[in-house]
Chains A and B, each alone.
Chain A
Amino acid sequence: MDKQSHRHRWKELESLLDELLEMSASERNQRLCSIEQRDPELHKTLQRLLNAMDDDESFLEHGAQNIGDTALEALAEELKVHTRLVESADEADGPNDRALGKYRLIRRLGAGGMGEVWEAERDDEVMRQRVAIKILHPLVGKDAAQRFDRERHILAALQHDGIARILDAGVATGEPPYLVLEYVDGMAVTEFCRDNSLPVRDRLVLFLQVCEAVAHAHRRLVVHRDLKPSNILVDHRGRVKLLDFGIAKLLDPQEIGAQEAVTRVGLIAMTPEYAAPEQIRGEPVTTATDVYGLGSLLYELLSGSRPFDISGLSNAELQKLICDTAAAPPSSKTEAAGRADSHTGIRRDALRGDLDSVVLKALEKEPDDRYASVTELADDIRNFLDGRPVSAKASTFGYRAGKFIKRHKLSIASSVVAVTILTVGLTGFFWQAREAELQRARFESTGEFLFTLFEQVDPDLNPGSNLTAVGLLDVGAEQLERLAAGPEARVDLLRVLGVLYSKLGEREQSETLLRQAVTEAQANLPPSNNTTGQALSSLGRVLAERGQLDEAEDVQRESLEAFRIAGDFGRWPLGVAGDLARTYALQGRWREAQTALRENIDDHQSYLADDPRNLAHRSYVEALILLGELQTATDDWTTARTNLELAATTAKNSLGADHPLLARSFEALGNLMRRAGNSDEAREQLLAALQVNQQAYPRGHQATARISAAIALMDLKDGNNGDAHELYQSAVQLWETMPEGTHAERADQYEIVANWQLSTGAIDIALTTQQAALYARRLAHESLDHWDVAAALRELSSIQMAAARSADAEESRRKARAMQQRIFGKNTNPTSSEPGNGR
């Protein structure tokens, strides 16, 4: 029974139901039986309805509230955003009501499927600036905020006069995600040309400005993907500004990896009229897509109409038109020969020939057949302007031959492809070839990858870049995902990025990348390749830093084994052996650590024998310092001094008089002297360390501040108050100018400050500071047991003691001792002292 017929039959059904419901159960059964005999179909329906009536589990019983929690969630989201928008727009009681983040909304410039665009103003102590704010619809995707945060770093690197800058982004939870963009006062490029009746030459010059901006973005690996006149503005001085660069990508379902979304044409993030065939087909977007977009724009600038008229077409027709039908030459769209077009004022014969060829080449259906880059397109325009032959024309004549040569060239040029074919086999060929082609425009080599990455923070190229180092790495890590490099290069890049992350204190991210490096190395590289050992070595270091000492030990041993199998007995395995010794030390296995270090130092000496410039001097000096520090801690002062002095000499001769390791050697010597009670020499060594550090880091460094403060403390204890305060102040000033460091660095700072406060009698403040230090220490070691945390607890205990809080002091001391025992286990050392930290 379909819907229509049941509506007609409802009267009959209803009266039957009424009747049945009035009856007792037995009467009802009887009645149903007789109906069944007469009309089995009707009986079936009635039975179904009766069941429905008694169904207390029906979704109808639960009410709207439970029908779609997830759907309601989405509604909730929308209401949240609208609340803010509506509140900010409607309740204009005071200027502060209409605000989003730091920005005051002034007037709405437009609204669309993606959200709203507002003119806004930032006006605070920092700056006064007019901006455009794009407030995004929360339905652009659950992870929009995260993707935003990631992508805006990339977009922020686009610094070109022809590109409207992304100034800021709001991705706080509970707020609609928004983008703050440079406010551009201008008109669409097509309007500008029309209003000023620009001749062909001027239009082309304007177009070249557009090309330049797009090429800039392409060099920074950003594709616009939605180039159209309304996104290309010209200000009153005739300068071009591109809007919305890379923004379409933020919202593209293909980028989210939602495969099913690709098939839903309705979700493709672009303007169909200007879409390239590959966008319609749901294929990956590359720089060639922008070449198409520029071709489309040039078409409109020259002929006054778009390449395709899509009004009134169905999706299927549209798809066919854009993907299969060649565009008519722009000249054919102008009015009859010999007369100027009434819209553009351009004559048909001005376009015929070269310009037609250039536009049509940019509009080729297959990305491979278009200009290989925006620069090539621009070059051809310049050829035209200078009266030289254009390359596009040549390709129309010798089309087949040209195409053959181009294909041939591609297969030879991409050595990456050639290598992968061997390993992947033929099935992977086409995919690989396409992937490689996609990446070709982006990364000529891994070297370029790193180069472009660092270009983003190059102060000369990108003055005032606000990309942080970590942001830069995020960019790198993300680009790496898409990089189709050889397996060895990939492992190498993963490793380098991983190491950089750890240096910036982002250890979790570091560990993730390094683990990936190891996994890929073990899966894809032959045992004879020493890259595997290198990846393991870096992973081992980070694990040790994170306090995962047992695993660090395993990984470091594995690394040594990998190097042995690869036949590498050079500086890398020497360094790893030193790292392993450090891991022993951190585990409290000081005797083993010392034995391993002595062996490692011997190995270094025979390896380095004849080569003063060998890079292994670094790990040699590190091993010497660590051994010296361990010997200091075990009161083996004479040997400690010998080793540390050797470290200093070697560092100075082989690494340079301004090397941080030389400073470290002096600092370790200073600490030795201090422990040995020779404060004069301690002061001398620490001053030497300070001096080297100032040369190594002219703009200051944690170590500089740390050493200054250490000297200040010694001075204070020696009653040398004036010098002490001065030095201490210099350390504080340094800290204030430095960016906030890692947790460990901040813990160092707090401990020094607490020590100073205690020494100057500010006991209560010292207590608070040391608690902050302990907190930072715990963060640094991710709440795991660690020697440094135990040390911070002991320090806290002594300050608590000084503050006459003996119960607290006892508690802290007990915790410290327990942690120490957990760390050392059976390896508990005979002495109560600690190894100098090797940070």
Chain B
Amino acid sequence: MGADVTAILADAGSRDSAALAQVYEILYKELQTIARAQLRRLDQQTLNTAALINESYLKLIDNSRISVEGRAHFLALAARAMRQILIDYFRRKTAAKRGSFIKPVTLLEEAVPAEQRGEMLVALDDAIDQLELTNERLARVVEYKFFGGMTYDEIAQVLDISARSARLDWRKAKAWLTLELEPET
């Protein structure tokens, strides 16, 4: 499995969407597995998203056969998968919380503490979707940096821009998100 992923990513030219979708699938599952493993280890209580992605990289990628660019693409996919995992979870939670009283549930699902933090994450996810409509590249930058913990150089590799542009994009994205998430007082 690892070899396939490396091969797909190593072949810079073959970046067709079907192949990438396949990598994404693998990655998504792998991240969940690693997350579980991480949690089992030493009774760890929190997830370290950056470490998760790093570990999935080591597991799925043959580093000797992959280019810097390939690595960056992998990280970008991982960032996307991480976003998906986190947001799926919090959306479910938020839905459960809003869930109608009418819904014939026998037993409650109690709100997690610090719930609004999850809500913030969900709001951010919505905002990124909105940003994508306005400026797709800015949205990708936020995704890579926020959910994938990628560096400007890595982001630049994936988006085929300069690192300086990546940094500027990030700053602009922050401006945009400020407007979206923090209504003027």
Q: Say yes or no: B175 contacts A64, CB within 8 Å.
A: no
| Cα of A52 to Cα of B178 in the assembled complex, Å | 7
Chain A neighbourhood of B117, CB < 8 A: 67-68, 70-71
| Residue from B107, B134, B149 in contact with A10 in the complex, judged by beta carbons closer than 8 Å | B134
Residues of A within 8 A of B (CB): 1-3, 6-7, 10, 13-14, 17, 21, 45, 48-50, 52-55, 58-60, 63-65, 67-76, 78-80, 82-83, 112-114, 137, 139-142, 173-174, 226, 244, 247-248, 251-253, 261, 264-273, 310, 313, 315, 318
A558 to chain B, nearest CB (A): 43
- Taking a contact as CB atoms closer than 8 A, the residue among B32, B99, B121 that contacts A79 in the complex is B32
B interface residues (Cβ-Cβ under 8 A, vs A): 32, 35-36, 39-40, 43-50, 82-83, 86, 89-90, 93, 96-102, 104-115, 117-118, 120-121, 130, 134-135, 142, 145-147, 149, 168, 171-172, 174-180, 183-184
Sampled A-B contacts (9; CB under 8 Å):
A7-B130, A52-B174, A65-B149, A75-B89, A113-B109, A140-B109, A266-B99, A266-B100, A269-B107
Contact B102 A248 (CB under 8 A): no
Q: CA A248 – CA B108 in complex, angstroms? A: 9
Please, which residues of chain B bring their CB within 8 A of the CB of A67? 117, 120-121
Verify A112–B107 contact, CB threshold 8 A.
Answer: yes
- A67-B121, A114-B106, A267-B110 known; A53 vs B149 contact (CB < 8 Å): no
Across-interface contacts of A273 in B (CB, < 8 A) = 104
Select B114's contact among A54, A63, A71, beta carbons within 8 Å.
Answer: A71
- Measured CB to CB, the nearest residue on chain B to A273 is B104
Residues of B within 8 A of A2 (CB): 183
The answer to whether B113 and A272 touch across the interface, beta carbons within 8 angstroms, is: no
Q: In the complex where A7-B134, A75-B89, A318-B101 touch, is A64 in contact with B110 (Cβ < 8 A)?
A: no
Q: Across the two chains, which residue of chain B brings its CB closest to A313? A: B102
Q: Is the CB of B109 within 8 A of A137?
A: yes
B147 pairs with A69, CB closer than 8 A: no
B112 x A268 contact (CB < 8 A): no
Contact status B46-A72, CB under 8 Å = yes
Tell me which residues across on chain A come within 8 A of B112, comparing CB atoms.
70-71, 73-74, 139
Q: Are A58 and B86 closer than 8 Å at their CB atoms? A: no
Q: Are A65 and B179 CB-contacts (below 8 A) given A79-B35, A114-B109?
A: no
A-B contact count (CB 8 A): 188
Quote the shortest CB–CB distance from B103 to chain A (angstroms): 8
Residues of A within 8 A of B142 (CB): 60
Residue of A nearest to B45 (CB): A73
**Could you tell me if A79 and B113 are in contact, using CB atoms closer than 8 angstroms?**
no
Q: Given A17-B172, A65-B47, A79-B36, do A1 and B184 touch, yes or no (CB 8 Å)? A: yes
Bound CA span A54–B171, Å: 7
Question: How far, in whole Å, are A63 and B78 apart by their CA atoms in the complex?
Answer: 14
- Is the Cβ of A60 less than 8 Å from the Cβ of B172? no
4 A-B pairs with the lowest CB-CB distances in the bound complex, closest first: A68-B117, A114-B107, A74-B112, A70-B114
Give the docked Cα–Cα distance between A112 and B96 (Å). 12
Residues in B whose Cβ lies below 8 Å from that of A226: 106
**Bound CA span A252–B104, Å:** 16
Candidates B86, B98, B146; contact of A75 at CB < 8 Å: B86
Residues of the B chain whose Cβ atoms lie less than 8 Å from the Cβ of A270: 106
Question: Which of B32, B97, B102 is A315 in contact with, Cβ under 8 Å?
Answer: B102
**Quick check: A10 and B176 within 8 Å, CB to CB?**
yes
Whether B47 lies near A17 (C-beta < 8 A) is no
B48 to chain A: which residues have CB within 8 Å?
65
Contacts of A261 in B (CB 8 A): 110-111
Considering the complex, give the chain A residue whose CB is closest to the CB of B168. Answer: A21
B102 close to A63 (CB less than 8 A): no
- Shortest Cβ distance from residue A240 to the other chain B in the assembled complex, whole angstroms: 19
Residues of A within 8 A of B102 (CB): 272, 310, 313, 315, 318
How far does the alpha carbon of A251 sit from the alpha carbon of B105 in the complex, in Å? 12
Give the distance in Å from the alpha carbon of A65 to the alpha carbon of B35 in the complex.
13
Cross-interface CB contact of A76 among B47, B109, B172, cutoff 8 Å: B47
Residues on B with C-beta less than 8 A from A82 are: 36
CA of A75 to CA of B44, assembled, Å: 12
Shortest Cβ distance from residue A44 to the other chain B in the assembled complex, whole angstroms: 8
